[in-house]
Amino acid sequence: MEHRASRVPKLACVEEEEEEGPGATPAQETEEMVCKFMKRIREEETSVTGTVVRAYPPIFKTKSSAALLDMLVEEGPSSPKQVPAMVRYIHQWLEANEFPEYNLYRPLLDLTEALPADVVMALLRVAPSCDRAATTMWKTIMCSCRTAETAMLVLLDVLANWPEHSTCTSDGDHTPVLALAATVVMWKILQMPYVPHVVTVHFPRLFVHLLFQVLFSTLDMPEVADTFWKGCQQQHGLATDPNSFAEQTLKALLCRLHYEDVVVAMEDKRGWDTLLCADTHHCAVGMLAREMHHASKASCSAVAFHLLGLLRKDMPCGDLAAMAFLVEILDCLNLSECRDSVLEVMSKNLQSECREMRRLALRGLLVLGTSVSAAIRMWSLHERLVELLQENDSKMLRMTMVLLSRLFLCNGAPLASPLALQLAGALLPLFDNDDSQVQACSMFIFREILYFSPEEEKKALKSYVHQSLLPLLFHCHDENQHVADVSAALQDSRETLHSSATFLHRKDLQHMLQLGQTWKFSEGLLAEDRSRAAEHVRQALRYLESPQKPLREAAIRFMGMAGRRLRGQQQELQLICRALECLTKDRSSAVSALALETLHVLLAIQSGRYSTMQRLQDQLRRAWRTRPRLSGLGCLLCRMTEEES
């Protein structure tokens, strides 16, 4: 208290009252008021003779202090500037009198009701570590319906500003107050037998501020805050770090408001430990949000609304944590009232340099995208979403594809030519993606691009459509066990293949697909342009390594057909033969046998030993495989083989 002595009213004053000058300070005004009544107090406490003034013990332990308090209650401060000084006086009086005989409720509540910011800030400045006297004053303020609401709002403002908050009080004092000091006050309040109603009312804001203080005190602990905290540890016997203390206060808040299950669930999942690490803080925040969602959607709605307001402002340190919490409880908001605000926040953070923030923004947009009206308004994001397809992140890729699909489904708008080409090029590799949802979405969007492309832009898309034919053909044989509905996946492939054939005006290919003759599609594809055979071979090579047996078999058959059209192109034939040779030891005996047979034919072609009789045998063999019931073909094939031998 020594460094604040000049602000406390002096009680040892002169006998004669001095006139107050025009430039008197607030402290001098309070001192004048105190001295005015000290003259009367001394007269009452002189000796019987009235000639000697007794030597008193410290003034706060005498009847003089009681008389002064009576005066303060009756007359109050003559100026608002005196309020902080009077708060300091009341604190000193309580500090000197552990069991006060006089009730201080009325003067303290009157002062707080008149100037709540002055009283709260003065009390935080005079007793930042919340000693016994300050705790008594806080309990008085927070348990009164006259003062609790306004005082709580000031405390929340202090909590919201890390590491310190500065508000100039009526006496001109603008000394910053540490946010940790307000946390200590809340910790003391939460230890009361009955939690003040105002804590329940302002739970969402208090919860958010304490949650952020855990992060802020982990990331940045300035020297002034560290020094203050060491004093608090000594005074209250605290053995924790500031971030652990903020977390402890947060847990106390949850328990006092009957969210013990949330605290226990977080403990079981080691979420509280994760919350104390800066790198994993946002993950723990998401976990806490999910637990809160299970416990109370009403509370989550209020928390989400408050977080939304914070995210619309600049939050350089806490935005990731705020977003992590918000996306988990977004469905608790009444989106009909705040959909535009959510869309604004998510769209802004979709441009973030932080990958995790982009991922969270995508999750939020997916929730919004379930509404047709929101999906229509989100069309402006399609360019950014196309850029995100380059992300090397499977989760982000899936979310981006699903969101793009919804936008195309709800908008059906053509793309500008450069963007359409960029998107078409990005979609082709996704036909082979291991994620069935990504695969299905990529085919759907590709069909939409082809359907909505203006005539003048179709020429530029043709090269991408040509490249799509073979992958789509192979996927017509896909039996991916990771796909929940195999028939739906095959249907997607056939529909997209038909769209590509239609786009290229290949009526022959369309007719084959309509008849379900996908096995003839390869021949039709190769028959149109022999110059593309080598390109198709290189496309087909990767399907020889497919985990799906039907895809490997389809690729082998295509290699055989393409190889016959590559006669004389030794480099391409050797490439095919080397690939097929590897498959002769395939884990599937059917695949290895087919590879060996195809390799034998291609080697014969390569050496020039492929006769007309062999060609006819191959044709009959293919016909017999497609129509095994025609037993006569099998007999003819056997007879021709015997004659050749």
Output 152-158 pairs: Cβ under 8 A, ≥24 positions apart: 152/198, 152/199, 152/201, 152/202, 153/116, 153/202, 154/116, 154/117, 154/120, 154/121, 155/120, 155/182, 155/185, 155/186, 156/202, 156/205, 156/206, 156/209, 158/120, 158/124, 158/182
Mean pLDDT of 481-503: 79
Alpha carbons 444 and 489: distance in angstroms, whole number? 11
Given a cut of 90, whether residue 400 has pLDDT beyond it is yes
Least-confidence region, from 79-88, 204-213, 585-594: 79-88
CA gap 115, 120 in Å, rounded: 9
Residues in contact with 440: Cβ distance below 8 Å, sequence separation at least 6, in sequence order: 488, 489, 492
* Cα dihedral 101→102→108→109 (10° resolution): 110
Q: Does the pLDDT value for residue 630 go beyond 80?
A: no
pLDDT tens for residues 401-433? 999 999 999 987 778 778 889 999 999 999 999
pLDDT at 399: 97
pLDDT score recorded for residue 470:
94
Label residue 212 by pLDDT band (50, 70, 90): very high
pLDDT at 572 over 60: yes
pLDDT of residue 329: 96
370 half-sphere exposure, CB direction, 13 A CA radius: 8
Q: Which residues pair with 164 in a beta bridge?
A: 178
pLDDT of residue 104: 72
pLDDT at position 116 is: 95
Q: What is the mean pLDDT of residues 220-231?
A: 92
The predicted pLDDT at position 37 comes to 45
Helix H or strand E segment including 177: strand 177-178
- pLDDT band, residue 24 (cuts 50/70/90): low
Q: Is the pLDDT of residue 365 over 90?
A: yes
Q: Taking a C-beta distance cutoff of 8 angstroms, is the pair 499, 444 a contact?
A: no
pLDDT-wise least confident of 46-55, 177-186, 271-280, 628-637 = 46-55
Residue 49 has pLDDT above 70, yes or no: no
pLDDT at 11 over 60: no
Predicted confidence (pLDDT) per residue in 426-464, tens digit = 999 999 998 989 999 999 999 999 998 888 888 889 999
CA atoms within 13 A on the CB side of 634: 7
Dihedral sign for Cα 56, 60, 61, 64, please: positive
Could you give the percent of the chain with pLDDT greater than 70?
80
Indicate the pTM of the whole model: 0.80
Higher confidence at residue 3 or residue 522?
522
Q: At what angle do helices 148-159 and 179-190 cross, to 10 degrees?
A: 130
**Which DSSP string do the residues of 2-42 spell out, in sequence order?**
GGGGGGSPP----SSPPPPPTT--HHHHHHHHHHHHHHHHH
pLDDT at 40 > cutoff 60: no
For residues 176-195, give the mean pLDDT.
Answer: 95
Select the more confidently predicted residue: 149 or 54.
149
Quick check: 58 and 2 in contact, CB under 8 A?
A: no
Query: Which tokens is 33 given?
Result: 């008021």
Query: Span 330-353, mean pLDDT?
Result: 92
Neighbours of 429 (CB within 10 A): 11
Q: Does residue 558 register a pLDDT over 70?
A: yes
| Residue 104 in tokens | 């201080």
Contact present, 131 and 235 (Cβ < 8 Å): yes
CA atoms within 13 A on the CB side of 63: 8
What integer pLDDT is reported at residue 71 of this predicted model? 63
| pLDDT, tens digit (0-9, with 9 covering 90-100), for 521-542 | 888 888 876 677 888 888 999 9
Evaluate if residue 303 carries a pLDDT over 50.
Answer: yes
Task: Give the mean pLDDT of 504-520.
Answer: 87
Q: Does residue 167 come out as left (phi exceeding 0), alpha (psi in the -120 to 50 range) or beta?
A: beta
Instruction: Tell me the H-state helices in 455-569.
Output: 458-475, 486-503, 507-514, 518-528, 533-541, 549-564
| Mean pLDDT over the full length of the chain | 83
Q: What pLDDT, on the 0 to 100 scale, is given for residue 31?
A: 55
Contact 396, 358 (CB under 8 A): yes
Percent of the chain with pLDDT over 90: 55
Taking the C-alpha atoms of residue 26 and residue 328, their distance in angstroms, rounded to an integer, is 51
Question: Per residue in 345-360, pLDDT tens?
Answer: 999 999 999 999 999 9
Strand 164-165, strand 177-178: pairing: antiparallel
Least confident of 209-223, 321-335, 390-404, 615-629: 615-629
Q: Residue 483 pLDDT more than 70?
A: no
Selection from 81-90, 194-203, 612-621 with the highest mean pLDDT: 194-203
Quick check: 271 pLDDT over 90?
yes
User: What is the enclosing helix (H) or strand (E) of 49?
Assistant: none
